[in-house]
Amino acid sequence: MPNPISRFLSRFRSRSSEVKKQVGFETPLPEPPFSADFGHPVRSIVKAVGQTFKQELIPIPYRMLLQLMLYSDVLRTIIRAISQETFRNGFYFKPKFGSKCTVCGNEYEEKLERCPECGGLMRLPDKEETKILKAWVEEPVNDFNEYLIDVLRAVEQDIDTF
């Protein structure tokens, strides 16, 4: 004689699957459209790149994060401290390499005349590139007459906030 509990469970499973199909429980929910007012900028960027990601449990809109940063003394103090530490020393330029092979492209810390691997001639860092970079840093970089350090501070604040 069949077990009455197993008969009940099999009937319950088949009936529950029928109810799920009728209700539409197994159909995936449509994906919410992304708003043009930067409702979720990170999600839209990741979706545009085509990567998969885990959706946050409580989605917080962009504007709400901005309000929290502007009106929360604790959060504003933390973000300001991070920004000040990031840009405390300003800009300084140092060469990426001491010498670089013109044949194979290997870079070395010390100044050499010949490449130890291929025997090619080595070149030193170009002083003109440093002059161009310094001139670019000392002049406004956008239409609002902002300097590079100001633009980088604004970008860094956005990264810390969002």
DSSP per residue, 149-162: HHHHHHHHHHHHH-
Flag whether 90 is in a domain. Answer: no
Mean pLDDT, range 119-129, rounded to an integer: 88
Q: Is residue 113 predicted with pLDDT exceeding 80? A: yes
Residues 6+ apart with CB under 8 A from 43: 34, 53, 55, 59
The rounded distance, in Å, linking the Cα atoms of 71 and 77 is 11
Give SS3 for 136: helix
List, for residues 23-39, the tens digit of each pLDDT value. 655 555 555 554 444 45
Give 6 or 124, the one with higher predicted confidence: 124
Confidence (pLDDT) at 37: 43
Give 38 or 62, the one with higher predicted confidence: 62
Flag whether 110 is in a domain. Answer: yes
> The domain containing residue 116 runs over which residues?
97-124
Confidence (pLDDT) at 18: 73
Weakest mean pLDDT among 32-36, 86-90, 119-123 = 32-36
Confidence (pLDDT) at 129: 85
The rounded distance, in Å, linking the Cα atoms of 2 and 8 is 11
Flag whether 153 is in a domain. Answer: no
Flag whether 12 is in a domain. Answer: no
Mean pLDDT of the chain: 77
State pTM to two decimals.
Answer: 0.47
Q: Is residue 5 predicted with pLDDT exceeding 80? A: no
Contact 110, 129 (CB under 8 A): no
In which band, very low, low, confident or very high, does the pLDDT at 153 lie, cut at 50, 70 and 90? Answer: confident
Confidence (pLDDT) at 51: 56
What count of other Cβ atoms lies within 10 Å of the Cβ of residue 89?
A: 7
Q: Is residue 69 predicted with pLDDT exceeding 50? A: yes
Number of domains in the chain: 1
Give 72 or 38, the one with higher predicted confidence: 72
